[in-house]
Amino acid sequence: MENNKKPILIAGPCSAETREQVLAIAEHIKDLDLAYFRAGIWKPRTRPDAFEGVGKIGLDWLKEVQQNYGLKTTVEVATTQHVEEALKSGVDALWIGARTTVNPFSVQEIADALQGVNIPVLVKNPVNPDTKLWIGAVERISKAGIKDIMAIHRGFSVYEVKKYRNEPQWQIPVDFMKEFPDMPIICDPSHIGGDRKYIQEISQKALDLNFDGLMIETHITPDKAWSDAGQQVTPEQLKEILSKLIIRNLAPKGAPMGELEDLRIKMNRLDNELLEILKKRMQISEKIGAYKKKNNMVIFQKDFYEDSLQKNVKNAVENYNLKGKFASDLYKLIHQESINIQEQVMNKPTE
């Protein structure tokens, strides 16, 4: 890794499968300055016949990891029984998975089981893109008296298959950081990408956004893994990924900040111009709403919208060097606000 700052690193298999597998992985990554060695003991799977983890026997293997290699361990917990078994076994940290975070009842049960316990807890974002659910889960754990809390960003489930298995939607963890500026946030590129070939680029993106660390699934023979084989890397691949990561600075070392400040001032001026243009556009939307109300027209004009969307995106790409997805998403947001304004005008009682 370039630069001296080392990110928090959590690594280990998606699932603990056998004693030999767990110890072999630990042997190969013991010198990586890990914060925690991770392994799934209880696995919440979509289908009932899928591998759901070895259960509490795997906790004995993690004890050996602690004793033989001096590594701290962490496991996922989804029920109060999981919490009790993990605490009894001496696991060093717990993490709450995305399928649990989405359910406040489940999080509260875990929080209740942690009352009076002093152990680090990591909270993954919920499977759906809901910042409030994520924040709420952290608050529940905090109210249980847990002081050492970290967040894990693992992306969000989508119906359509896109480049990544789970959409990163980076703005959500960025918003989360604003809510908890002092809380470490870890990126899980394995679950975001769903494919080991994306782990490097996702990890770099996270560090560029000032994430505090990474959780990377690592397996001695990933192609033979009992779960999530495609997204796990070998210890050698993990070391190569880490060696290529660039750790950037918050401020330039020895370089003047004046140039950056000038650019930020220019950007702020353009932001104000954008807002002024948007204000004028929405004022036109009000007039359009009044016209449609007067002439008893529906708000959403499908043919006009689709034609306008296509032309605007094409114009943005060909003439303004903007990315198509960005232009499309931006226009859709503006159009939705225009519809909202027209709806208000049209449904306003006649005086």
At 137 the pLDDT is 97
Q: What is the DSSP secondary structure assignment for residue 234, as one 8-state letter?
A: -
Backbone angles phi, psi at 12, to 5 degrees: 150, 175
User: What's at 257, amino acid-wise?
Assistant: M
Task: Let me know if 5 is exposed, middle or buried by CB neighbors in 10 A (0-12, 13-18, 19+).
Answer: exposed
Residue 115: CA count within 13 A, CB half-sphere: 4
CB 164 within 8 A of CB 192: yes
Q: Please identify which residue in the block is written with the tokens 């959780």.
A: 215
Coil vs helix vs strand at 65: helix
| Burial readout 283-304 (b: 16 or more C-beta within 10 A, e: otherwise) | eebeebbeebbeeeeebeeeee
Q: Which CATH number fits domain 258-346: 1.10.8.60, 3.20.20.80, 3.40.50.980, 1.20.59.10?
A: 1.20.59.10
Residue 328: CA count within 13 A, CB half-sphere: 7
At 118 the pLDDT is 92
| Burial readout 308-341 (b: 16 or more C-beta within 10 A, e: otherwise) | eeeebbeebbeeeeeeeeebbeebeeebeebeeb
At 3 the pLDDT is 47
CA-only gyration radius of the chain, Å = 24
**CA-to-CA distance for 83 and 94, rounded, in angstroms?**
8
Cβ atoms < 10 Å from Cβ of 198: 18
Low-confidence spans in the chain with pLDDT less than 50: 2-4
Q: How far is CA 50 from the centre of its chain?
A: 25
The CATH fold of domain 8-244: TIM Barrel (3.20.20)
**CA-to-CA distance for 256 and 287, rounded, in angstroms?**
49
